[in-house]
Amino acid sequence: NAGVTQTPKFQVLKTGQSMTLQCAQDMNHNSMYWYRQDPGMGLRLIYYSASEGTTDKGEVPNGYNVSRLNKREFSLRLESAAPSQTSVYFCASSSGGLLYEQYFGPGTRLTVT
């Protein structure tokens, strides 16, 4: 049981480049989430997916797109990276509903120069 996996672990982009962060979970969870973590800011929700085929914006969605490819996979795309998107990105999953904890992946550390 790998839990939640993310690729890549590290990435450096130049301003204007695009990339996709991949996330997969093997716990048969319905809900998946993308967060960014910046110093002093805690974890801020970018997008989430309550079930396969649905996605919704979180607190900071601008500059990002997501795809819930199937129940296991939830990807985050940066179409034109900006230095303000330098951050650590975490994917998480949960069974769904109000009372279930979230399981986090190891994170992707992204630097945009």
Residues at the interface with another protein (CB under 8 A): 31, 33, 35, 40-45, 48, 50, 58-59, 90, 92, 96-99, 101-107
Contact predicate 103/93, CB 8 Å = yes
Written as one string, the DSSP assignment of 24-63 is EESS--SEEEEEEEETTTEEEEEEEESSTT--EE-S--TT
Output the smallest distance, CB 69 to another protein, in A: 19
Output the smallest distance, CB 50 to another protein, in A: 5
**Cβ proximity to another protein, 46 vs 112, nearer residue:** 46
**Angle value at C-alpha 95, between 94 and 96, nearest 5 degrees:** 90
d(CA 93, CA 29) in angstroms, rounded, equals 6
**Cβ proximity to another protein, 14 vs 28, nearer residue:** 28
**Cβ proximity to another protein, 72 vs 104, nearer residue:** 104
Output the smallest distance, CB 10 to another protein, in A: 12
**Cβ proximity to another protein, 33 vs 64, nearer residue:** 33
The phi, psi pair for 85, rounded to 5°, reads -95, 5
Output the smallest distance, CB 91 to another protein, in A: 9
Strands 108-112 and 10-13: parallel
